[in-house]
Structure 1
Amino acid sequence: MDREIVWLSKGTPSTLTYKGKEFKSGIAKNQVTELKVMSKGIIGDDVENHDFHGGSERVICVYAYEHYGFWEKLYQTVLPKAAFGENLTLTGMTEKDVCVGDIFQIGDAIVQVSQGRFPCSTINKYTNIHTLLNKIIERGHTGYFFRVLEEGVIYSNSSIKLLEKHSEEISISTIHHTYFHEKNNIKRIESILSLDVLSDEWMIRMKKLHKSLVEKSI
Structure 2
Amino acid sequence: MELLSVNVGRAKTVEYTDAEGGMTGVDKRPVTTPVRVFAPGPRGVGASGVEGDDVCDLRFHGGNHQAVYAYAREDLDVWEKELGRALPNGSFGENLTTYGIDVNDARLGERWRIGGAVLEVASGRIPCRTFAGWLEQKGWVRRFTQAAVPGAYFRVIEPGEIRVGDRVEVLERPDHEVSVAFWFRAFTTERTLLPRLLAAGDALEPDGHETVRQYLAKQGA
How many matched pairs? 207
Residue matched to 2:220: 214
Q: Is the 8 A contact 1:193 1:207 kept in 2?
A: no
Q: Is the 8 A contact 1:46 1:54 kept in 2?
A: no
Deviates more, 1:189-198 or 1:132-141: 189-198
Per-residue deviation at 1:23? 4.0
Q: Is the 8 A contact 1:14 1:25 kept in 2?
A: yes
Q: Is the 8 A contact 1:57 1:199 kept in 2?
A: yes
Residue matched to 2:3: 5
Greater helix share, 1 or 2?
2
**Alpha-carbon separation, structure 2, partners of 1:51 and 1:135:** 24
Given candidates 168, 173, 176, the residue that maps to 2:181 is 173
Say whether 1:141 aligns with 2:149: yes
**Alpha-carbon separation, structure 2, partners of 1:210 and 1:138:** 24
Question: Counterpart of 1:42 in 2: which secondary structure?
Answer: coil
Residue matched to 1:114: 122
Name stretches of at least 5 consecutive residues in structure 1 with no aligned partner.
none
Per-residue deviation at 1:12? 2.5
Displaced runs of 4+ in structure 1, greater than 4 A?
A: none
**Alpha-carbon separation, structure 2, partners of 1:204 and 1:117:** 18
Q: Is the 8 A contact 2:5 2:165 kept in 1?
A: no
Greater strand share, 1 or 2?
1
Query: What's the CA shift string for 1:187-207, capped at 9, x where partnerless?
Result: x43331242111123222233
Q: Is the 8 A contact 1:116 1:176 kept in 2?
A: yes
RMSD: 1.9
Question: Counterpart of 1:181 in 2: which secondary structure?
Answer: coil
Alignment of 1:1-218 (within 5 A): 3-17=1-15, 23-33=22-32, 34-40=34-40, 41-184=49-192, 188-194=193-199, 195-214=201-220
Q: TM-score if structure 1 supplies the norm length?
A: 0.87
